[in-house]
Structure 1
């Protein structure tokens, strides 16, 4: 399982395999699959099951719209997908560089500049469609995000390094979902930094210390 302990659940993987997720959520799943052979096997099983169901379907039971779509796919000519330049496969932060998830390669223009957040944290926003907000989050060694809970759902995918909170230690490939029911204080150990890709559908709510003064302005950070 490539030492990955936190995964999307079966329902989320199934929705991904059936193309039912918004693009931002699909990017998060795709990036996790690059790390996780266990979930790749689950996706393959879901797709095999779906293919079997389609094979058992009589052509007459398929809707006219689906028949038309399948015919259009079959009639399409192969297109030349050659690109003029190699995609930008690295995310750069000062003197560091990290491999970009494949789903974000060739879309470097959608990644904003790095900005600083409280707790020795850096953030680079990713311009994705939909209402959720995607960010690269870099935590330097021996740093911490203020303790917070969530007004919605937060998905965190560890890309490099590690961080920990009250519930465990998270390493590359770990896919962590937090909701209103969770409160935590993410931090890194001395000598250990961490790069994550995160997806939020509502602002955080800080629960301790001076960070609580930011709560009235949380919408300003959720942009």
Structure 2
């Protein structure tokens, strides 16, 4: 049962098509798991559609829409298809569209961070954000940190708890500079998350700050 959702502002931006690719990947992946946020997205889309219908017709605007439609249609044929290899058992938990991005990167490839933790940076066309998969061993914490920007964390498998709440599969935590926390994977199962950030984390530990650039955290 998903308890923690996207903000209305993020869902509205999704409906308007104004989210950068990194945020959109995190938000859309959550939407595939959350019927409540999908309903919210449809509501914002209906509102947007209503206001579009109320707009006064404009020949130049209509021509612009026709040109955009032509480009989209042509690009669908010009784009090279993604060749997907059979997914391993470890990749089966990845929902779309995240699974496609991981396929494009050559499959799930963990880079170990120490103490059993691992990450994979997921390439996107968005240079303003960093998207990563994180694996935190059961019962282990992420070192205490705050945030220089915004961080969206979506739980894909397992769960974690922090100073705010407990987050399970499908739950989203959106954190900013006002939150200092120590997320800890709950006992019994590794926690795998999708994290989107627009700035490096701010670790309390000097040791973590020394290794931060190496791991691009």
Please report the TM-score for the alignment, with normalisation by the length of structure 2: 0.85
Superposition RMSD on alpha carbons, in Å?
2.7
Could you tell me which runs of 5 or more consecutive residues in structure 1 were left unpaired when the two chains were aligned. none
1:133–1:201: 8 Å Cα contact kept in structure 2?
A: yes
Q: In the alignment, does 2:1 pair up with 1:7?
A: no
Q: In the alignment, does 2:113 pair up with 1:117?
A: yes
Cα separation, partners in 2 of 1:141 and 1:74, compared to 1, 3 Å: closer
Q: What is the deviation of 1:88?
A: 5.0
Partner of residue 183, structure 1: 180
Partner of residue 92, structure 2: 98
Cα separation, partners in 2 of 1:88 and 1:25, compared to 1, 3 Å: farther
Q: What is the deviation of 1:54?
A: 1.2
C-alpha distance in 2, partners of 1:138/1:47? 34
Partner of residue 141, structure 1: 138
Deviations 1:27-70, CA, capped at 9 Å, x for gaps = 1110010111111111101111111111111203x7x2x32232
Q: What is the deviation of 1:99?
A: 2.8
C-alpha distance in 1, partners of 2:43/2:86? 29
1:123–1:135: 8 Å Cα contact kept in structure 2?
A: yes
Partner of residue 165, structure 1: 162
Aligned residues: 212
Structure ranking higher in strand proportion:
1
> What SS is found at the alignment partner of 1:102?
coil
| Bigger relative contact order, structure 1 or 2 (CA pairs below 8 A, ≥6 apart) | 2
C-alpha distance in 2, partners of 1:204/1:117? 15
> What SS is found at the alignment partner of 1:96?
helix
Partner of residue 206, structure 2: 212
